[in-house]
């Protein structure tokens, strides 16, 4: 039995995984939240959500800034605060996600007139005191240059903001019908209750990396020792306490007209105002009932403590030996673990698209990222949550026809390459999670990806399936009249579809569908059809010394050409390599990097690449010459693939350079977008010394950063 399989059986057979136990005695217990720093990845394009949330929570409270990146609300890099909002994603690409219905506080309006306050987001934004920022699980605090201090916590669908104003204030808090990327569509509404100050309303927005639109509802209440003075609505730069209802259009130039409501308070000895904001995709009624039931009495301490308790419980299964370990190493590790549970988000009860008793998870942002280590990590660490996620994915397919490759805000996200939910389902199936998952439906869902081309494969499934079945590769400039999507990425799609088919084959084996298994195993070898044996790779006129690379191929069998270094980290041509229609044949990465993406047929790949020594040299070249970019997910597995050439020590050595050189416990400490916790899971699993080859019952072992790592998995739901 190869060592990797031995380890897996440990995972399945016992409730306690102990990696590299020099001393088999249990690792000591301690408060693990002291080592969680939510600010890691909140600067330098990490786009991490650093605010207050529960595990997988829908309400995510933070200060929003006007940064240029796709920040998860707050970017810790200077900039200005534009408001305080309750919905966010973590590690977003595309455009900034959510950030709907922000509140904004004023200690006083100029001239003591409501029109003396500034309402539009672009004008009202304000600097904050950098040293005032505090972030802990379930808590975020900041002080604005105006002297207003704001701290916040969250329940599942409700945020609680505590605004502390300087003495002598007559505070005004506005609520703006906007979002982070100004995507609001027509006819947003707000009503302000004159006697209570309660604000309710809704607006329709567009998702940040997907198609369609979503409607979100809110319910905001205010509680303060200070008496309410007046309330009303604003449009553009003008406000009035005489009007309490507003329906506002999008303006003709595309930028949504500023509009919303406000409530103003009299001066009081204690100028603390609590704002409770419930959100819902169903109705304002549901937003209000969430708020009323989740944070009944505006008790900040109790809400905060409940969040701490939930995070403590979530982190309970994992401990590492702290012997000889710096706090910064522990912070790097546990913060990575924490980020795997910020996204996806549990929207059960909030899905208006179909009715079902199944759980509903959202903010799979995107599965192309999370299949590689985030979901495999959670499969060990929080299998109950993974079961719900998989049931939700299968239910989504049941009602919308297709498994997503990406999903956010009740909308379809864009596919980046393959149908990568297949890899996730296979991974979870192979690792033995069964409880409540309808695996027949799961198998039918992945098989549909492999067999049926959707009309719009930008959003789901795969394109070019006719070629895939008949030519056995995705040709460059494919002739595809059955479905539509960006006709690029023929190499990376070929490699990813081959792996997706392998994932399906393994499920078929498990379900005793032998004929299917053989069919998909055969198709999983299609990657070989794009390997051009005599292809060389030049860099600035010099041969890199390796022969044999993937190349694009036309449907008539003639080779095309793409420089193997194009779209690599050292390609300075400035070309766009994402979903643009000029992006080329590899997605967000080069042929150099994609040459290693045959995770299921490594021995054949190694033979193609010239044997174990040449293969090792190629991996060295990839890492040593900066071709790879560890800030994007295709790089993850290449760190560990030395194992397949019999050189596991080199995998350990690579891990030790990337962590902490590229992953360090600071706001700017991530090399790229966290992608919903993908980077967090890379750090967690690499430091544990247990990295998955995702979609297979294989873990690649490296030397852990700790003397011992202990995970108490829930063995009751694992089938041995």
Q: Which residues are at the interface with ligand NAG (CB under 6 A)?
A: 66, 78-80, 125, 167, 186-187, 269, 301, 304-305, 308, 511-512, 539-540, 542, 547-548, 554, 556, 558, 569, 610, 614, 626, 629
Give the nearest distance from C-beta 152 to ligand NAG in angstroms. 13
Give the nearest distance from C-beta 49 to ligand NAG in angstroms. 20
Give the nearest distance from C-beta 425 to ligand NAG in angstroms. 15
Cβ closest to ligand NAG, residue 4 vs residue 439: 439
Q: How many angstroms from the chain centroid is the CA of residue 296?
A: 31
Cβ closest to ligand NAG, residue 113 vs residue 534: 534
Give the nearest distance from C-beta 540 to ligand NAG in angstroms. 4
Phi and psi at residue 173, to the nearest 5°: -120, 125
CA distance 538 to 621: 13
Residues 241, 232: contact at Cβ < 8 Å? yes
Give the nearest distance from C-beta 439 to ligand NAG in angstroms. 8
Give the nearest distance from C-beta 440 to ligand NAG in angstroms. 9
Q: Is 95 exposed, middle or buried (0-12, 13-18, 19+ CB in 10 A)?
A: middle
Distances in Å between the alpha carbon of 511 and those of 8, 158, 419, 426? 20, 42, 20, 11
Cβ closest to ligand NAG, residue 45 vs residue 454: 45
Residues 70, 673: contact at Cβ < 8 Å? yes
Cβ closest to ligand NAG, residue 25 vs residue 573: 573
Cβ closest to ligand NAG, residue 5 vs residue 305: 305
Query: Residue with the closest Cβ to ligand NAG?
Result: 610
Cβ closest to ligand NAG, residue 62 vs residue 320: 62
Cβ closest to ligand NAG, residue 253 vs residue 357: 253
CA distance 310 to 304: 10
Distances in Å between the alpha carbon of 311 and those of 539, 628, 684? 49, 35, 17
Cβ closest to ligand NAG, residue 24 vs residue 269: 269
Ramachandran quadrant class, 59 (left: phi over 0; alpha: psi -120 to 50; beta: rest) = beta
Cβ closest to ligand NAG, residue 370 vs residue 595: 595
Give the nearest distance from C-beta 466 to ligand NAG in angstroms. 17
Give the nearest distance from C-beta 374 to ligand NAG in angstroms. 23
For residue 289, what is the DSSP state?
Answer: H
Q: Which of 169, 139, 172, 5 is nearest to 63 (CA)?
A: 139
CA distance 542 to 530: 24
Cβ-based neighbour number of residue 145 at 10 Å: 11
Q: How many angstroms from the chain centroid is the CA of residue 180?
A: 17
CA distance 153 to 137: 9
Cβ closest to ligand NAG, residue 358 vs residue 478: 478
Gyration radius from the chain CA atoms: 26
Give the nearest distance from C-beta 508 to ligand NAG in angstroms. 10
Cβ closest to ligand NAG, residue 29 vs residue 540: 540
Give the nearest distance from C-beta 618 to ligand NAG in angstroms. 9
Distances in Å between the alpha carbon of 541 and those of 228, 529, 537, 589? 73, 28, 9, 21
Sequence-separated (6 or more) residues with CB below 8 Å from residue 204: 184, 185, 186, 187, 188, 213, 214, 215, 216
**How crowded is the C-beta side of 108, counted as CA atoms within 13 Å?**
11
Give the nearest distance from C-beta 554 to ligand NAG in angstroms. 4
Residues 653, 614: contact at Cβ < 8 Å? no
Give the nearest distance from C-beta 25 to ligand NAG in angstroms. 32
Ramachandran quadrant class, 616 (left: phi over 0; alpha: psi -120 to 50; beta: rest) = alpha
Cβ closest to ligand NAG, residue 269 vs residue 324: 269
CA distance 414 to 406: 6
Cβ closest to ligand NAG, residue 15 vs residue 607: 607
Distances in Å between the alpha carbon of 548 and those of 222, 535, 587, 605? 66, 5, 20, 11
How far separated are the first and last CA of the chain, in Å rounded?
Answer: 17
CA distance 494 to 483: 17
Give the nearest distance from C-beta 121 to ligand NAG in angstroms. 11
């Amino acid at each position: 039995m190869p060592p990797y399989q031995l380890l897996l059986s440990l995972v399945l057979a016992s409730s306690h995984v102990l990696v590299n136990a020099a001393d088999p005695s249990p690792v000591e217990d301690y408060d693990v939240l002291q080592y969680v720093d939510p600010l890691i990845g909140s600067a330098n394009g990490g786009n991490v959500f650093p605010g207050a949330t529960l595990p997988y929570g829908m309400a995510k409270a933070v200060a929003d800034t006007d940064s240029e990146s796709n920040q998860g609300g707050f970017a810790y890099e200077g900039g200005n605060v534009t408001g305080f909002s309750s919905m966010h994603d973590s590690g977003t690409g595309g455009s900034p996600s959510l950030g709907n219905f922000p509140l904004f506080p004023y200690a006083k309006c100029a001239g003591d007139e409501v029109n003396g306050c500034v309402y539009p987001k672009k004008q009202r934004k304000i600097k904050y005191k950098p040293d005032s920022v505090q972030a802990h699980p379930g808590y975020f605090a900041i002080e604005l240059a105006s002297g207003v201090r704001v701290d916040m916590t969250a329940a599942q669908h409700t945020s609680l903001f505590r605004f502390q104003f300087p003495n002598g204030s007559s505070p005004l808090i506005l609520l703006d019908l906007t979002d982070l990327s100004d995507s609001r569509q027509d006819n947003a509404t707000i009503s302000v209750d004159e006697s209570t100050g309660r604000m309710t309303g809704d607006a329709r927005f567009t998702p940040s990396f997907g198609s369609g639109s979503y409607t979100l509802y809110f319910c905001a209440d205010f509680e303060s020792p200070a008496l309410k003075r007046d309330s009303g609505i604003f449009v553009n730069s003008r406000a009035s306490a005489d009007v309490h209802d507003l329906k506002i259009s999008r303006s003709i130039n595309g930028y949504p007209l500023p509009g919303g409501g406000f409530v103003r308070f009299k001066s009081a000895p204690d100028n603390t105002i609590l704002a409770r904001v419930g959100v819902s995709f169903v109705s304002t009624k549901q937003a209000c009932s969430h708020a009323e039931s989740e944070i009944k009495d505006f008790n900040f301490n109790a809400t905060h403590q409940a969040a701490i308790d939930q995070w403590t419980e979530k982190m309970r299964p994992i401990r590492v030996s702290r012997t000889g370990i710096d706090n910064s190493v522990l912070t790097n590790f546990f913060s990575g673990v924490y980020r795997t549970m910020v996204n996806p988000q549990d929207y059960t009860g909030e899905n208006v698209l179909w009715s079902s008793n199944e759980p509903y998870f959202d903010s799979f942002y995107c599965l192309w990222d999370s299949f590689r280590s985030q979901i495999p990590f959670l499969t060990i660490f929080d299998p109950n949550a993974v079961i719900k996620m998989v049931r939700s994915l299968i239910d989504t397919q049941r009602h919308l026809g297709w498994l997503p490759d990406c999903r956010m805000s009740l909308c379809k996200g864009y596919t980046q390459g393959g149908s990568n939910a297949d890899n996730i389902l296979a991974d979870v199936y192979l690792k033995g999670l069964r409880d409540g998952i309808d695996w027949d439906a799961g198998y039918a869902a992945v098989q549909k990806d492999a067999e049926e081309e959707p009309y719009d494969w930008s959003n789901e499934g795969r394109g070019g399936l006719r070629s895939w079945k008949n030519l056995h590769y995705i040709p460059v400039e494919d002739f595809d009249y059955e479905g539509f999507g960006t006709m690029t990425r023929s190499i990376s799609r070929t490699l990813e579809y081959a792996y997706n088919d392998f994932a399906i084959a393994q499920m078929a084996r498990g379900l005793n569908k032998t004929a299917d298994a053989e069919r998909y195993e055969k198709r999983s070898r299609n990657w070989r059809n794009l390997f051009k044996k005599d292809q060389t790779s030049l860099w600035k006129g010099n041969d890199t010394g390796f022969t044999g690379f993937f190349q694009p191929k036309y449907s008539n069998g003639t080779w095309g050409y793409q420089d193997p270094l194009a779209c690599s980290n050292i390609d300075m041509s400035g070309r766009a390599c994402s979903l643009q229609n000029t992006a080329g044949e590899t997605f967000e990465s080069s042929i150099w990097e994609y040459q290693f993406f045959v995770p299921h047929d490594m021995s054949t790949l190694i033979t193609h690449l010239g044997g174990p020594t040449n293969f090792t040299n190629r991996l060295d070249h990839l890492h040593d010459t900066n071709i790879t970019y560890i800030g994007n997910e295709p790089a993850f597995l290449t760190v560990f693939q030395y194992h397949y050439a019999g050189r596991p020590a080199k995998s350990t050595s690579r891990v030790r350079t990337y962590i902490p050189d590229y992953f360090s416990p600071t706001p700017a400490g991530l090399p790229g977008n966290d992608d919903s916790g993908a980077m967090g899971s890379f750090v967690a699993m690499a430091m544990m010394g247990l990295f998955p080859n995702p979609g297979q019952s294989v873990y690649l072992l490296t030397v852990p950063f700790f003397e011992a790592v202990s995970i108490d998995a829930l063995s009751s739901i694992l089938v041995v």
